Structure 1
Amino acid sequence: MWTSRRRSLASSTERGCQHGVVPGCGARRSWPPIMPGGIGRAPEWPDQRRPRVASGPVTNRRARQTHHLRRDRDLITKTYRTWGRQEHHREWTTLNLLALHQPGLAPEPISAELDREPPSITMTALPGDPIVGYWTDDQIHLLAKAMRRLWDVPGDRPAPIDMHNAHYWRHLAARSLRPASGVELRAFDLTVDWITGPALNSLLDGRTLQILGQGDPQPGNMLYDGRGIRLVDFEDAGASDVCFELANFAEHLGARGTGLDRLADLIDHDHRRYHLYRRLIASFWLFRLLPDPTGARPPRTAELHDQAVRLIDLFD
């Protein structure tokens, strides 16, 4: 299926200047300087150059990309390398909802080949860069404004991602290697006991999935142009819970050292459910940092230890 949205285009020079692709026009840089991935996937920077907007530690790691981005002046074509979770449909639906209800917050959808293998989506480029390091208070307030716009979008949202299903977590725990000893073993056992118990069913009963969530709040998916925050990468978008989204900002491994957990101070939420979702998402990262039974992932011993300590604290 080929789908298209009609839009008016300025002259080539105007478009290039507006999106920062004509040398000497003084426009801001525009997306994509990176190839953002989904949850657990770090952004990829061409030639290993990272635009630095704020100073501080960088915790993201390079990882296998789930898509390829090709730029043609002010348009971006995203071709998916994996689409078994209907990532392309999620993104196309979300971009159209945002174009209708919150224009300017995300790329404008232009056309899509959703039934082709591999599927692809063409959208507009955006100005701005990811913020690297610790976010200022002003940047956190701009992020809160952007997220409120996203979460206020009405209409038929994509279905919730699998992380909102208790079976997903039990399957994840069952296929993870149990550590031999230490805080890693204690964190693993606490997590498995909780995930396999009745409390998780209550948390994930679906009654609080009332907003449109992005699902992957790593800093590479948020672009700052000095005046506002725009959002990219909606492969994991779908019906969600505000508490889940806030917890994801607090616990995403790629957001460590950024201060994105301060977003929760600006958004009304249920504090108990927020804490439980933080525990749940921290559990995801514990499982992800464990040695892979297939040997596909290299061991990350120091990070695993730190994550185990962090997770145990969330059980206190």
Structure 2
Amino acid sequence: MQPGQWGGHAIEMTADRVIKRFPAVERGRAVCEWRALTLLHAHAPGLAPRPWEADLEAAEPTVVMSRLAGVPLRGAALDRERTDALARAVTRIHTAVPSDIVREVPVREGHLGALIVRVRRWGVTVRPQATGVVRQAMDAGLAWLARSGADVRTTGEVPAVFGAGDGNLANYLWDGVRVQVVDFEESGRSDRAFELAEIIEHVSSWVEHPLDVSAFLGHFDLTPAETVRLRECRRLLALVWLFLLTRDAATRPRNPAGTAERQAERLLDRLL
């Protein structure tokens, strides 16, 4: 098949393989993808594609993996069976890689500190163009962030886990029995609360067929520190998504009309 474009990289698919070719400027994403595939194959075989080969030093870094069967959860009715299977897959990602190995893995892209820097920049560049409930929610979110102290808090009270790095339900494939996971370009060391918040607050978890958040979270025995962090991460990610959806609507809409306004209401609810 001819390669198609996903983000900045090209993908080719055969009957049994997927070949990702990254531009040189995204070499780090290729490294993350290969590291995740090899770690999960070693510690959670069958959860993710099998790593076949990689050339990470090429002009276009390449990662070759097995092709998984299954239907993306995004756009599907998320019944209890699928929700339970999603939770089992996420739990396996978080628990399979031994803690001593996780400590040596670099922090994943787009973690808390990086998102806060990004949001503050958007507050200067994107917020002035916003109006109505979107502007109201941006102002409330930025005010919460300024007083929350989230940017100076550490994750010392929450254990590090291996994080997939992307909450998009399109990356979770249902084969009728289990959920398997693809796309690890932003994977790395993270914590459970942040990773769960990223799935829950991702637009794919609510814009079409809403994820039953209570049923999903019921699979995770969070500590008090993780529970507090989950709430704050959900607020931050809801704010991130408000900016993303506002920019999306102004350039190349990929979601239904009014999604940014719906997200604004979601954020205001999170801040109560």
Q: TM-score range by the shorter chain?
A: 0.7 to 0.9
Report the CA distance between 1:81 and its aligned residue.
Answer: 4.4
The residue identity in structure 1 corresponding to 2:139 is D
CA contact (8 A) 2:10 2:20 kept: yes
Q: Per residue, is there more helix in 1 or in 2?
A: 2
- DSSP 3-state at the match of 2:210: coil
Which 10-residue stretch deviates more, 168-177 or 269-278? 168-177
SS in 2 for 1:99: helix
Q: Secondary structure at the match of 2:81?
A: helix
Residue 79 to residue 136, structure 1, CA distance change in 2 (3 Å):
same
Percent identity, please. 30
Aligned-residue offset at 1:198:
5.0
1:25-66 alpha-carbon deviations (Å, 9 max, x no partner): xxxxxxxxxx7xxxxxxxx8xxxxxxxxxxxxxxxxxxx633
Residues 1:173 and 2:120 aligned together:
no
Contact 2:111 2:190 in 1 (8 A): no
Task: Provide the residue aligned with 1:105 in structure 2.
Answer: 47
Residue 239 of structure 2: aligned partner:
283
Equivalent positions of 1:1-316 (< 5 A) are: 65-81=7-23, 83-84=25-26, 86-131=28-73, 132-152=75-95, 153-154=97-98, 155=101, 156-165=104-113, 166-179=116-129, 181-203=131-153, 205-207=154-156, 208=158, 210-256=160-206, 257-259=209-211, 261=213, 262-269=215-222, 270-291=226-247, 296-297=251-252, 302-316=258-272
Query: What amino acid is aligned across from residue 315 of structure 1 in structure 2?
Result: L
What is the TM-score with the length of structure 1 in the denominator? Answer: 0.72
Give the paired residue count.
254
Deviation track 1:68-126 (CA, whole Å, cap 9, x = no partner) reads: 22123322111124744711111111111101111111011111111222211011111
Give the CA RMSD over aligned residues.
2.7
- Which entry has the higher C-alpha Rg, 1 or 2? 1
Secondary structure of the 2:173 match is: strand
CA change 1:85–1:201 in 2 (3 A) is farther
Q: Distance in 2 between matches of 1:82 and 1:192?
A: 35
SS of residue in 2 equivalent to 1:259: coil
Distance 1:119 1:85 in 2: 6
Letter paired with 2:168:
Q
Contact 2:85 2:178 (C-alpha < 8 Å) held by counterparts: yes
Shift of 1:209: 5.7
Measure how far apart 1:298 and its partner are.
Answer: 5.4
1: CA distance, partners of 2:162 / 2:23: 24
Unaligned runs of 5+ in 2: none
Q: Quick check: 2:27–2:56 contact (8 Å CA) kept in 1?
A: no
Distance 2:212 2:165 in 1: 15
Bigger drift between 227-236 and 176-185 goes to 176-185
User: Which amino acid letter does the alignment assign opposite residue 78 of structure 2?
Assistant: W
Unmatched runs of 5 consecutive residues or more in structure 1: 1-34, 36-43, 45-63
CA distance in 2, matches of 1:244, 1:91: 19
CA distance in 1, matches of 2:186, 2:212: 19
